Amino acid sequence: MSFKTEIERRRTFGIISHPDAGKTTLTEKLLLFGGAIQEAGAVKNNKIKKGATSDFMEIERQRGISVATSVLAFLYKDKKINILDTPGHKDFAEDTFRTLTAVDSVIVVIDVAKGVEEQTEKLVEVCRMRNIPMIVFINKLDREGKDAFDLLDEVEQKLGLSVSPLSFPIGMGYDFKGIYNIYEKNINLFSGDSKKNIEETIAFDDIDSPELENIIGTKAAADLRDNIELVKGVYPDFDKESYLAAKQQPVFFGSALNNFGVRELLDCFIDIAPSPRAKAAEERTVQANETALTGFVFKIHANMDPKHRDRLAFIKIVSGTFERNKPYLHVRQGKKFKFSSPNAFFAEKKEIVDISYPGDIVGLHDTGNFKIGDTLTEGEILNYKGIPSFSPEHFRYINNADPLKSKQLYKGIDQLMDEGVAQLFTLEMNGRKVIGTVGALQFEVIQYRLEHEYGAKCTYENFPVYKACWVQAKDKNSEEFKEFKRVKQKFLAMDKRKQLVFLADSQFSLQMTQQKYPNVTLHFTSEFE
C-alpha cells in the first residue's frame, strides 16, 4: 500500500467520559466488532498482568491500566483504528489531558440517567481548546433515564457544543424499542440480548409509511414521527466539514452493554472521522503526509514490576514512517538513538513492529532518556506544542524521611515528575519542595513508588494553596512586576521548566492579585502564547 493510502486508512481517537458512563464497555464492543477479541470482558480481564499483582498496592489495582490496554489497535473494514484508553477517575485526569494531545478525534460517552457530569465538562473543554472533532454517544438507553431532548439540550448548554443527532431512540428504558438511524435511514430493533453481536436492522427510508406501525406499534410510530420532525426543525443537518472543524458534534444513542447502537457509531465514525491531521510545532505546522519522520512523547508508563524497571515511552507519529533500527534525533538531547524493539499494540497483545505510519502509537523502551513532550525527528529541530501542565488542586510539602537516601529520593522525584505523575514546585523564598497533583490519590502512589522503586522514603506536610498559576508579565522590568514579586515573595515558586508560578492561597487572594497587578497575567495551564 502506498504511504498516502496508509495515512488515509488510519483513525486515531480517544474515548472520554466521567467514570462509570460506560467507556470500557464501549471500548470492548468496538474491539469485538473489529474481531480483535472474541468475547467482551477480555479487555477488562487483561487489565493487570497476573504475575505482578502481588507487587501492586490496592490503589494501583484499581487504577490498573496496564500498558497493553492503554493503546488498542484493530482493523475494521480495512481501516486501521487506534483507540487511546483514558483513565476516567479525576485523580488521574492529567494523564487523560495529555493523551488528548495525541488523538485526531474523540468519542464522548454520556450516561443517559446522569447526563453531563463534571469530569466530562473538563475533558470536553480541553477538546474544544484544541479544536478536536467530537462524536457524542449517549449510553445505557435500556435503563430509565432523562428525555432525549433534555439530554441534547444539556449537552449543548453544559458542554457548549452544537449537536446534530444522527440517530434517535424509539422509547426509553422499559419502553425502549430500538433506534431510528437518521444517518443510514434504517431502524434498529432492540431485543435486549447482549450476546447477539448484531441486532436486527430494517432499511426504512420513509418514516411516514404505514409500515412503521407494523414494526414498532402505533404509539411508538406516532412518537417517533413527532420526534424526528422536531429534530429536523430544531437541529442543523449534519455537515461533515463543520464536524471536522469542531464546530458541530454528531450524536448517537445506544447501549454499549447490550451491543446496541455500537455498529452504527463505528460505521459512521470510520466514514466521517479524520485521518491523521497536521500538528503545530513551535517552529512550523507539520503535515501528516510529509515523508520525514516526526513524533512526540505524550505518555511515559513506568511498569510497577520491581523486577523489571522498564519504562515505555508512548510516541504519536505525526509524519513520515518510524522504522525499526533506524537512527532518529532526540531533539531536546541533541543525540541520535536507534530502537531495536519498538512496540505496537494490537488488542491485548504487544508486538514488535518494523514500520509504523502517521497516526500510529509506538511504545519505545526507555532507560530515562525521554520526558513528556520530547520530539523525535530525522534531523530537523522541531518542538511540538500543546502538552501543557494543568493547575494542580492538591499541594503538599515533601520531606525526606531517610537522610541517608536523599540521592535516591531526588532521583525518584525527578523521574516521576518526568512521567507526569505530578508537578514539582520549588519555593523561591526557602527552596522547599512542594508537590502538586490533580488528585489526592496521587500522593499515595508517589510515596509507594518512591519506596518500592527507588528505596527512598518521604513524608508529607499540608501546604494550603488554592491554585497554582503560571506568571506572565508584559514587562519584566516594570515597577509593577517588581512590586508583585516583592509583595508575593512567599507565594512564588519555580516549576521544573524554570517557569515562575504564583501559589494563591485562596480564591479571594487570586482575584485581588489580578485586580492589583493588571499587567501581570496568571495562567491556569503552563502553556501560553
Domain residue limits, the chain: 3-50+62-272, 279-377, 394-523
**Binning pLDDT at 50, 70 and 90, where does residue 90 land?**
low
The answer to whether the 3-50+62-272 and 279-377 domains have the same CATH topology is: yes
Residue indicated by cell numbers 503545530: 280
Phi, psi of 464 (to 5 degrees): -75, 95
- The confidence band for 205, taking pLDDT boundaries of 50, 70 and 90, is low
pTM of the model: 0.78
Look up the CATH number of domain 394-523. 3.30.70.3280
Stretch 488-502: mean pLDDT: 89
CA nearest neighbour of 207 among 187, 190, 230 = 187
118-132, 200-214, 343-357, 442-456 — which is least confidently predicted? 200-214
Name the more confident of 26 and 304.
26
Q: Are 465 and 395 in contact (CB under 8 A)?
A: yes
CA–chain centroid gap for 501, Å, is 26
Cell output for 300: 511515559
Mean pLDDT of 435-443: 83
Q: What is the mean pLDDT of residues 13-28?
A: 80
Q: Which residues are annotated as a binding site?
A: 17-24, 85-89, 139-142
- pLDDT score at 172: 73
CA–chain centroid gap for 184, Å, is 29
pLDDT over threshold 90, residue 396: yes
At the topology level of CATH, where does 3-50+62-272 sit?
Answer: Rossmann fold (3.40.50)
pLDDT, position 53: 33
pLDDT given for residue 39 in this prediction: 53
Confidence (pLDDT) at 403? 87
Left if phi > 0, otherwise alpha if psi is -120 to 50, otherwise beta: which for 92?
alpha
Cα 7 to Cα 13, 78, 278, 319, 378: the distances in Å are: 14, 12, 12, 9, 19
Q: Would the pLDDT of 408 be above 60?
A: yes
pLDDT value at residue 48: 36
Cell match 518542538: residue?
A: 383
Q: Residue 24 has what pLDDT?
A: 76
User: Which residues line the annotated binding site for GTP?
Assistant: 17-24, 85-89, 139-142
Please give the mean pLDDT across all residues of the chain: 80
The average pLDDT across 369-397 equals 82
Mean pLDDT of 343-349: 67
Specify whether the backbone of 77 is left (phi greater than 0), alpha (psi in -120 to 50) or beta.
Answer: left
380 or 129, higher pLDDT:
380
Q: Nearest Cα to 453, choosing from 56, 21, 158, 58?
A: 56
Least confident of 111-125, 230-244, 475-489: 111-125
Q: Give the mean model confidence (pLDDT) for residues 86-92.
A: 62
Query: What is the length of the chain?
Result: 529
Distance CA 81, CA 345 (A): 11
Cα(344)–Cα(36) distance, integer angstroms: 14
Write the burial class of residue 241 (CB in 10 Å: 0-12 exposed, 13-18 middle, 19+ buried). Answer: exposed
Q: Which helix (H) or strand (E) holds 489?
A: none
State the average pLDDT over residues 332-339.
90
pLDDT at 310: 65
What is residue 52's predicted lDDT score, i.e. its pLDDT? 35
Q: Which of 294-303, 327-336, 451-460 has the lowest mean pLDDT?
A: 294-303
Statement: residue 167 has pLDDT above 90: no
Least confident of 131-140, 184-193, 354-363: 184-193
- Architecture of domain 279-377 in this structure: 3-Layer(aba) Sandwich (3.40)
